[in-house]
Amino acid sequence: MIMKTRILVSAALSLLTVLNANSKNGRTVTIETQKSTLEWVGTKVTGTHNGTIQMQAGTVSLKGDRVVGGTFTLDMTSIVNLDLEAEEWNQKLVGHLKSDDFFSVETHPTATFKITKAKLRRFAKANEANYEIKGVLTIKGISNAVTFPARIVWNDQGYEAIGKIELDRTRWDIRYGSGKFFDNLGDKMIHDLFTLKFSIKTVG
């Protein structure tokens, strides 16, 4: 009887140790890919184009109610354009974006982002960014550090992160039409900076 009691107590203590460790380590929630959106906006001398890229997968690491990390995968084969109504020109642009002039989708079908630090802005006002996110963005197999603000809120559906990132495409060796590398482009010059606007939602 004494031996059984000791075994039960030992098992209970082991369980508590595991639960306490899990509590300290936090938890991980999954990205709701079908409800998350990622919009790209690119500009050139003669105008602007915009479209979307589909989230393929992702998780967010939490400690208490704070975001402390995360990993995300983007499906680069899902690039679409939203502003060109003529099917021929639409598909021509999308094909060009998927080519080696831009994102080399056949060779690099996914891009990834990993959060390395999520700093809480404690005195952010309502509707302002309340986090500063630092991480590593990998496109075409090239990894670069990026930093951007985001507003992360929680409701009974889960977490949602809203914001935008300004990126210099040449850091990922996307040089086509760039005034940094080519002269006399005239109205064919494409601006190096492009924007990714995001609304990322989690399951729970």
- What CATH code is carried by the domain that includes residue 168? 2.40.128.110
Q: Identify whether 113 is part of a domain.
A: yes
Per-residue pLDDT at 191 exceeds 50: yes
Q: Name 97's Cβ contacts closer than 8 Å, sequence gap at least 6.
A: 79, 81, 103
Q: Identify whether 174 is part of a domain.
A: yes
Q: Identify whether 7 is part of a domain.
A: no
Per-residue pLDDT at 58 exceeds 60: yes
Q: Identify whether 21 is part of a domain.
A: no
Percent of the chain whose predicted confidence (pLDDT) is above 70: 87
140: left (phi over 0), alpha (psi -120 to 50) or beta: left
Q: Tell me, what's the pLDDT at 2?
A: 46
Per-residue pLDDT at 181 exceeds 90: yes
Q: Identify whether 150 is part of a domain.
A: yes
Give the pLDDT mean for 7-34.
Answer: 58
Mean pLDDT of the residues in the chain: 89
Q: Identify whether 6 is part of a domain.
A: no
Helix (H) or strand (E) holding 42: strand 37-44
Q: Identify whether 70 is part of a domain.
A: yes
List Cβ<8 Å contacts ≥24 apart for 38-42.
Answer: 38/74, 38/196, 38/197, 38/198, 38/200, 39/196, 39/197, 39/198, 40/79, 40/194, 40/195, 40/196, 40/197, 41/194, 41/195, 41/197, 42/190, 42/191, 42/194, 42/195
How does DSSP classify residue 86? S
The pLDDT-based confidence of 46 (bands split at 50, 70, 90) is very high
Q: What is the pLDDT of residues 104-118, one digit of tens each?
A: 999 999 999 999 999
Q: Tell me, what's the pLDDT at 25?
A: 60
Q: Identify whether 178 is part of a domain.
A: yes
Determine the structural domain holding residue 63 and report its residue range: 26-203
Domains contained in the chain, number: 1
List Cβ<8 Å contacts ≥24 apart for 87-96.
Answer: 93/49, 94/51
**Which comes out higher in pLDDT, residue 37 or 125?**
37
pTM (2 d.p.): 0.85
Give the pLDDT mean for 73-92.
Answer: 98
Q: Tell me, what's the pLDDT at 203?
A: 87
